[in-house]
Each structure stands twice: as C-alpha cells, then as structure tokens.
Amino acid sequence: MIWLDTIAQGILLGGLYALFATGLSLVFGIMRLVNLAHGDLIVLAAYLILLVVTLLGLSPWLAVLVAAPVMFGLGWMLQRWVLNRVLGPDILPPLLVTFGLSIALQNALLEGFSADSRRIPNPALEGASVAVGPLNLGVMPLLTFGSAVAVILVLNRIIYATPLGRAFRATSDDPVTAGLMGIDPRRIFALATGLAMVVVTIAALYLGTRANFDPAIGPARLIYAFQAVIIGGLGSLWGTLIGGVILGVAQTTGAALNPEWQILAGHIAFLAVLLIRPRGLFPRAND
Amino acid sequence: MLLQTCGLHAGYDRFKALFGVDIAVEPGECVAIIGANGAGKSTLMRAISGVLRSAPDMVLHRGVPIGHLPAPQVMQRGIAMVPEGRRLFPSLSVEENLLIGAQMRRGTGPWALESVYELFPILRERRASPGTALSGGQQQMVAIGRALMSNPDLLLCDEISLGLAPVVIRDIYAALPRIRATGAAVVVVEQDITQALTVADRVYCLMEGRVTLTGRPGDLSRAAIHDAYFGGHA
C-alpha cells in the first residue's frame, strides 16, 4: 500500500515537472532556443503572484489571472527586444544571453525580495486531501496534475487546430519561407515566448503554494524541466508529461527508500532513459 | 508599371550577385528571366520578394519603393513567390500548406481552397497528406497553389520545372494560362529557354548579374539568345 501511495504521489509530482517543462519545450520546438533562464522566470512569476496576493489581497487563483498577462508581456518584450537579436545560425549567443539573464534575475530577486524563503499562502486548500480508493491524495497535487493535462490539451489544440499554431509550425520548419507567406517570424517567436510565460505563471502558482521558494531555486527547476523534456522526446508535449511523471515517480520512489536519494534517483532515471533511448521516448520524426 | 527594378544591386555577405539590373513588369504580363546557373536569376527573385534587402528605390511596386521592405511586408503588398525547391512546410498537411498562403493576405480575386483544388484536382485527393509525402510535381502544384491563395497581383515562380520530368513540367505549365486569366502578372525564372520563350510575353536574359538581352520572344534570334546566355560570340 505504501508503494502504491509512493507511485501515486510521484505521478502527481510529475504534473508539476511537466508544467515546468512545457514552456521550455514550446519555445525550443518553435525557435530552437534553449532558455537557460526558464527556471528563474518560474521563480520570478512565483514572486509576482506572491506580490499580487500580498498587495491586492487576492486569492492565489485570481492572482494568476493578474500575473499571467504581465508575464505574457514580459516574455513578448524579452523575445522581441533581446532574444530575437541573438537568434541565428550560431547556437552559442542565445545560450550566453539566457545564462546571463538567469544570473541577473537571481540577483534582482535577491535584491528585491531578500534571500528569505517565501511561500504563496493558500489556506483554503493547503492540507486538503481526498480519499481515492485506498489512497489519500492531496487536492493541490491533483490540481497540479490536472492543470498540466489541461495546459497540454489547450496548447496542442492551439498548435494543431488554429491559424496561429499553423504559423508556429511553419515558422519552426522554415522561417525564411514563412516570411514569404507574409508571416513575420520575429512576431511569431514573441507570441510563442509570451505563451510560454503564461504556462510558466501556472507552473509558478503550484511551485509557490506547494513549498517554500527563494531566489536561488531557479536553476534546479530548469534541470527538472530539461530532464522531463529530454525523457519525453523533443517536440512532443504528451511525451513531456510522461517525462515529468517518470522523473516524479523516480524521485518519490528514491525518497521512500532513503530520503537522501530523492534527487539522485531522478537523475539516475534520466540517465537510464538516455542510455536506452538517446532521443527520448517519443521523439518527433522530422527533427 | 506593376513592378520595376532600377539599377538593382544585391548579393550576400561577401558575394555580389546583381550589378545594376533593370527589369519592368506590366500588370497582367508574363515575363521570363533566363540565364545560366549562377547568372543571378534566383538572387533577383529573392531581392524582389524581400528575402534579400536592397536600397528602397531599387525595387518599385506600383511606383512605391519597396527595396528595403522585409519579405512579409512585400508579400502583403501582393507579391507572392513560389520559391526555388518548392519549400513546402513538412509539418503541415497539403491543405494547411495551402491555407497558410492566405493567412496574412487574402486579397481580392478568385483564388481560394476550392479554386486551387479545381486547378490541381490531385491536391484535393491528397489534402490530408503531409506536403512532403507527395511527388515532386504534386509538391510543385502545392507550392504554386500556396502562392496563389493570397490572390497576388504578381506571382514570382523560381525554377518551377527544376528536377521534374518533361510530362510533369507540361502539366504544371498548363496551369499558367488559367492563372494569367485572373489578371495576375507572372515572372518565371527558367533554365529551359524553349519553355520560357513559349510562355512569356517578354524575356530578360541575365549573365553574371547583368541583363544582357531583352525583348519579345518572336523578335529574338537564336544566335542573340545564345550570345546573351553564354557570353560567347558563336
């Protein structure tokens, strides 16, 4: 019974990692940009939600509705004014710029919010749980997983069934020819990063209500996000969810064996998948 | 005048390909650009379509300088391109490839999904296939249909017969009269001189980035074209 519980907790934790990873996967899929500041942007969004909750006295759920458009705008501007200038045949400049952004963000957050660890207050649901058969599952972890599924459903719908998604895929295939179709790749990239930042805001809500956070935890979230994307295979959002679940289950199982093994077990699972399937479990055919 | 290039210079970072090219296209006209490999034909198409930028006054569309505009803005003015090598989007189905041509400009004209399917009926059958699963000729039809979807007043066709069997080339060119019947001007870049002389109202011959000959197909002698094409004195 304990094992069943451990695995269930791991699956739900995987939802959080999938939320971390989806924005990263979206941006990489459309513009082949690896955003090393992704984890720090999640932490930034968590502080933004915290700020809205504290200043306006809103519930965290309503605060997300305020923070998401702000993060969208921030992502849009970041792409339009910074990242679009460094995207090109050479993959090094965007890596350097986002690495620098990561350090700058961490220090700005440290300056603005101090090194104290904080938490988004969520008294209504913090300890709530529901009994599912023999298991007791937390309401917040269930909502996290549900949100991950919902985010992926909506993103897939956008990507495969709307003109915007068509433009995303065309630009990802061939930006020069997309330009000949009247589509400005720089505008598409800005929209994609804006959209990724909306997902980041949702991820930040669950990051900040689940446990304490401080300005320095971004890079570790980036690692989990990377691992989920790579395990799942580049280009498949459902693969990313499964990648997150494998990572989550590995971590909770490791922790059940010995609390010191939680993080290590996740890394070992990641390396094991890489050994067996170097391109991940569900790689896109034409990449 | 629909389109004019005036002393057009264009090229790539360390390599100039065009040295003062003057061409003109009247509304509804079909103009062929011929020339050997490396003569600058594709560079000319890329400069007109905005993939390569030039000085504003070097390209005029309806008298308006557009040389400096990027490709998306040139397209939205009504200049559509069928790029060399077809360049279909592999992640998009045939139908999506067509739809994306009309996404940013629908224009006023007869071209829409239905009329493109009537022009190339085989595409209706293959509408759900990935664009790149089609034969070369069918892919070329998609590329032409995709450009038509925006109802352009100028259609640029870069090497649409390249790599295709003669019978397929005939099918593709058979669509040209119906495209022109809608009033669109067409510029075709061709290595096949006979094909170019058959379809065009006027011909420009390029050699080493310069116009070496221009005129109506009937007025040009074989010898003159040979000289303009190869630069020899045969």
As a whole number, mean pLDDT of residues A11-35 equals 95
Q: Would you place residue A287 in the very low, low, confident or very high pLDDT band (cuts 50, 70, 90)?
A: very low
A36 alpha carbon, distance to own chain's centre = 12
> What's the mean pLDDT in A247-271?
95
Superfamily of domain B3-230: P-loop containing nucleotide triphosphate hydrolases (3.40.50.300)
| Closest CA–CA distance from residue A163 to any residue of chain B (Å) | 7
Type of residue numbered B167: V
Nearest to A180 among B75, B90, B103 (CB): B75
Nearest Cα neighbor of B23 from B181, B214, B209, B182 is B214
Question: What pLDDT shows up at residue A285?
Answer: 56
Residues of B with Cβ-Cβ distance to A184 under 8 angstroms? 70, 72
| Distance of residue A186 Cα from the nearest chain B Cα, in angstroms | 11
**Rounded Cα distance, A227 and A21, in Å:** 8
Interface contact A166-B80, CB threshold 8 A:
no
CA distance B76 to chain A (A): 6
User: Is the pTM for the entire model greater than 0.90?
Assistant: yes
Q: Which residues of A103-141 are buried (b: 16+ CB within 10 A; e: fewer)?
A: eebbeebeeebeeeebebebeebeeeeeeeeeeebbebb
Listed by start position, the domains of chain B span 3-230
Q: pLDDT band at A92, cuts 50/70/90?
A: very high
pLDDT tens, residue order, chain B (234 aa): 999 999 999 998 888 999 999 999 999 999 999 998 889 999 999 999 999 999 999 999 999 999 999 999 999 999 999 999 999 999 999 999 999 999 998 888 899 999 999 999 999 999 999 988 999 999 999 999 999 999 999 999 999 999 899 999 999 999 999 999 999 999 999 988 888 999 999 999 999 999 999 999 989 888 888 888 888 654
* Average pLDDT estimate for A57-70: 96
Identify the burial level of A283 via C-beta atoms within 10 angstroms of its C-beta, where 0-12 means exposed, 13-18 middle and 19 or more buried: middle
| pLDDT at B232 (0 to 100) | 65
Whole-number pLDDT of residue B233: 55
Q: Tell if the CB–CB gap between B103 and A167 is shorter than 8 Å.
A: yes
Supply B177's token pair.
């009269």
A266-276, pLDDT tens digit by residue?
999 999 999 99
Q: Do A182 and B90 touch (CB under 8 A)?
A: no
Mean pLDDT of chain A: 94
Q: State the Cα–Cα distance between residues B103 and B111, nearest whole angstrom.
A: 13
- Are residues B99 and A183, on separate chains, in Cβ contact within 8 Å? no
The domain segmentation of chain A, as residue ranges, is 2-113+133-218
């629908």: which residue's tokens? Answer: B106
Pick B89's closest partner by Cβ from A163, A170, A182.
A170
